[in-house]
């Protein structure tokens, strides 16, 4: 078995672990770091359930080799939690808008929303749909997801 | 866990070449959005991989001293779309690759991978064909350049020799100066879908915007590899900007294209698409170039 030491920053903490070179980033985040918000869905880069931020951009971690994480800064949904367990505005918006049904796709969608909101721009509804199009929700609650992201975007931009 | 026999991480282009020579059975992995899926499906299970993902020297877009646009093959689709040089010189390429998959796929997928897998439906391939792209390949015998038309051999097969990898996609100044283009992807869904047919057209108009000095057109999924439609290009060269010219263009493409029936679409639909997309993309290109139909 070929292994490699991988040093990276995960959710603000510099960490190190030895991984099997055959592992995906999903494998590493779930098994080595117990970050179980990163879901195993389709495992072929289509559903977005395993989506995480790497150096500020969204990636499906299932089709990203764990060894490629060397030197990268990774954020998962767990990073959004406040110091006393508070939810972030985008998480609260998902609750308020009933944008969560079974919840399996939610962490991935929210991390894409974090990238979108981080751009600090006002997007049209059509643009938001395109930006969110890398996620499948089998409960098909898409309308409420777009609502939650749109409302949080407007709230942040209008102060 | 992927079924990978061994992974060799290249630290430079020269290192990648020697790894490929030392491991002739190994496949090159760039972003992995095709290779890893083929491993999962079993088609490439148990393979050896030479990873070039960490070669930042192959990322980014720049201009050579002679004005040639140099696109690093590891540049992701989203970075192509955002790049200021691409927007200024060949905006249509940025628009075309913005239709690949979904946002996460566009962050990992690379333009080099999109061409090196030799797939006819690749959204970047028709535009690169239509703009006379030149592929720069590096191998054990040094660097060589070849036109993209010669790079594609057959479905899934490109002209990379053992030990070689793509190190740049070039577009010469005479190939882009004065040209404006438009790409249309026809697919069943607006995202996460493969083109039923893709059509990329670009034009160069006369100074008074009344005459077509040059028109170029290429298709994805009109044949086993991306292809130009030379009859259509010849048919409108020097003609006045008019609806009749646009119709003649759509008519002439039928002499060139040879789509097949697949589970995605029938030959008949693809023939109709070839005509319709050619006409629409030409009309839009003329508009973008400042012409009035």
DSSP B43-75: TTTTEEEEE-TT-GGG-SEEE-TTS-EEE-TT-
pLDDT band at B192 (very low <50, low <70, confident <90, very high): confident
Entry pTM:
0.96
pLDDT score for B264 = 87
Task: Render pLDDT for A82-100 as a digit per residue (tens, 0 to 9).
Answer: 999 999 999 999 999 999 9
- Contact status of A64 with chain B (Cβ, < 8 Å): yes
Is the pLDDT assigned to residue A152 strictly greater than 90? yes
DSSP B110: B
pLDDT score for B293: 87
A45 touches chain B (CB under 8 A): yes
CA-based nearest residue in chain B for residue A65: B32
Q: Residue B51 forms beta bridges with which residues?
A: B9, B29
Structure-model confidence comparison of residues A159 and B269, the more confident one: B269
Task: Report strand pairing: B47-51 vs B27-29.
Answer: parallel
Q: How far apart are CA B196 and CA B269, in angstroms?
A: 9
A84 CA: distance to closest CA in chain B (Å): 31
Q: Tell me the two tokens of residue A43.
A: 């495992």
**How many CB pairs (< 8 A) connect A and B?**
83
Task: Tell me the residues of chain B between 141 and 170 that have a Cβ less than 8 Å away from chain A.
Answer: none
- Domains in chain B, start-ordered, CATH in brackets? 4-51 (3.30.43.10), 56-173 (3.30.465.10), 181-288 (3.30.390.50)
How far is A99 from A18, CA to CA, in rounded Å? 37
Q: Where in chain A is the domain with CATH 3.10.20.30?
A: 3-76
Q: How many Å apart are CA B213 and CA B207, to the nearest integer? A: 9
Does A59 reach chain B within 8 Å, measured CB to CB? yes
**Torsion from C-alpha of A38, B194, B107, A122, nearest 10 degrees:** -90
- How far apart, in whole angstroms, are the C-alpha atoms of residue B101 and residue A11? 27
Q: Which of B4, B51, B102 lies nearest to residue A133, judging by beta carbons? A: B102
pLDDT at B212 over 90: yes
Confidence bin at B129 (pLDDT 50/70/90): very high
- As a whole number, mean pLDDT of residues B96-111 equals 97
In which residue ranges of chain A is CATH 1.10.150.120 found?
Answer: 89-158
pLDDT in tens, B231-284: 999 999 999 999 999 999 999 999 999 888 988 899 999 999 999 999 999 999
Mean pLDDT of chain B: 97
Whether the CB of A42 is below 8 Å from some CB of chain B: the reply is no
Tokens 């390949």 belong to: B137
The CATH homologous superfamily to which domain A3-76 belongs is: Beta-grasp domain (3.10.20.30)
Q: Does B269 touch chain A (CB under 8 A)?
A: no
Those residues whose C-beta lies under 8 Å from the C-beta of residue A47, and which sit 6 or more positions away, are: A41, A105, A108, A135, A136
The predicted model gives B192-218 an average pLDDT of 96
pLDDT over 90, % of chain B: 95
Q: Report the gap between the CA of B32 and the closest CA in chain A (Å).
A: 7
| pLDDT single digits (tens) A98-123 | 999 999 999 999 999 999 999 999 99
CATH classification number, A89-158, choose in 1.10.150.120, 1.20.1050.10, 3.40.50.1220, 3.40.190.10: 1.10.150.120
* Residue A22 at interface with chain B, using a CB cutoff of 8 Å: yes
For residue A121, the model assigns a pLDDT of: 97
Mention every residue, 6+ apart, whose C-beta is less than 8 A from residue B109.
B31, B33, B76, B77, B100, B101
* Overall average pLDDT of the B148-162 stretch: 97
Chain B residue with CA closest to A26: the answer is: B1
Residue B15 has pLDDT above 90, yes or no: yes
Q: Which of B199, B191, B186, B195 is nearest to B279 (CA)?
A: B199
User: From B10, which residue of chain A is nearest by alpha-carbon distance?
Assistant: A68
Average pLDDT (B83-112) is 98
Q: Is A45 left (phi over 0), alpha (psi -120 to 50) or beta?
A: left
Mean per-residue pLDDT for A23-35?
98
Alpha carbon separation from B276 to A42, A59, B270 (Å, rounded)? 36, 36, 10
Residue A132: C-alpha distances to residues A105, A150, B34, B194 (Å): 12, 11, 22, 18
* Cα–Cα dist B250/B281, whole Å: 10
Q: Using CB atoms, pick whichever of A20, A48, A132 lies closest to residue B1.
A: A20
Q: Report chain B residues whose CB lies below 8 A from the CB of A51.
A: 104
Distance CA B203, CA B178 (A): 8
The reported pLDDT for the residue numbered A159 is: 80
Residue of A nearest to B31 (CA): A64
Closest CA to B259 of B251, B267, B249: B267
Give dist(CA A93, CA A81) in Å, integer: 14
Q: For residue A66, which of A30, A26, A15 has the smallest C-alpha distance?
A: A26
Q: Is the pLDDT of residue B82 over 90?
A: yes
Record: contact B107-A135, CB cut-off 8 A: no
pLDDT of A33-81, one tens digit each?
999 999 999 999 999 999 999 999 999 999 999 999 999 999 999 999 9
Q: Which residues of B60-81 are buried (b: 16+ CB within 10 A; e: fewer)?
A: ebeeeeeebbbbbbbbbbbbbb
pLDDT, residue B132, reads 98
Contact across the interface for A59 and B51, Cβ inside 8 Å: no
Cβ–Cβ < 8 Å for A37, B19? no
């Amino acid at each position: 078995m070929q292994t490699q030491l991988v040093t990276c920053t995960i959710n603000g903490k510099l960490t190190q672990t030895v991984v099997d070179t055959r592992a995906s980033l999903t494998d590493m985040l779930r098994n080595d770091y117990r970050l179980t918000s990163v879901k195993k869905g389709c495992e072929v880069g289509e559903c977005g359930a395993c989506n995480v931020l790497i150096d500020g951009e969204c990636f499906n971690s299932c089709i990203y080799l764990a060894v490629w994480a060397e030197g990268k800064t990774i954020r998962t949904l767990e990073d959004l939690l406040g110091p006393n367990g508070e939810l972030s505005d985008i998480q609260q918006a998902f609750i308020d808008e009933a944008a969560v049904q079974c919840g399996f796709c939610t962490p991935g969608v929210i991390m894409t929303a974090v990238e979108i909101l981080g751009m600090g721009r006002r997007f049209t509804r059509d643009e938001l749909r395109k930006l969110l199009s890398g996620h499948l929700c089998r409960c098909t609650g898409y309308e409420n997801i777009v609502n939650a992201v749109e409302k949080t975007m407007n709230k942040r931009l209008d102060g | 866990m992927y079924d990978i026999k061994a992974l060799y991480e290249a630290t430079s282009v020269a290192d990648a070449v020697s790894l490929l020579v030392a491991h002739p059975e190994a496949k090159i992995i760039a972003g992995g959005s095709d290779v890893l899926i083929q491993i999962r499906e079993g088609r490439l299970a148990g393979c050896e991989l030479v990873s070039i993902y960490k070669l930042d020297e192959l990322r980014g877009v720049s201009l050579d001293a002679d004005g040639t646009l140099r696109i690093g093959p590891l540049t992701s689709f989203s970075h192509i779309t955002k790049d200021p040089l691409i927007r200024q010189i060949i905006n249509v390429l940025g628009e075309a690759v913005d239709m690949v998959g979904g946002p996460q796929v566009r962050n990992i997928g690379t333009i080099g991978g999109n061409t090196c897998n030799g797939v006819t439906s690749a959204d970047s391939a028709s535009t690169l064909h239509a703009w006379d792209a030149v592929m720069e390949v590096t191998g054990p015998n040094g660097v060589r350049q070849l036109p993209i038309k010669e790079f594609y051999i057959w479905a899934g097969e490109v002209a990379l020799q053992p030990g070689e990898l793509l190190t740049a996609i070039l577009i010469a100044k005479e190939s882009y100066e004065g040209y404006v283009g438009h790409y249309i992807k026809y697919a069943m869904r607006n995202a996460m879908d493969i083109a039923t047919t893709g059509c990329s057209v670009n034009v160069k108009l006369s100074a008074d915007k009344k005459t077509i000095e040059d028109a170029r057109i290429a298709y994805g999924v009109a044949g086993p590899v991306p292809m130009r439609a030379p009859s259509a290009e010849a048919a409108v060269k020097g003609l006045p900007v008019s609806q009749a010219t646009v119709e003649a263009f759509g008519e002439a493409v039928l002499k060139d294209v040879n789509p097949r029936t697949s589970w995605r679409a029938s030959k008949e639909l693809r023939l109709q698409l070839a005509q319709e997309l050619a006409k629409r993309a030409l009309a839009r290109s003329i508009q973008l170039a400042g012409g009035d139909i």
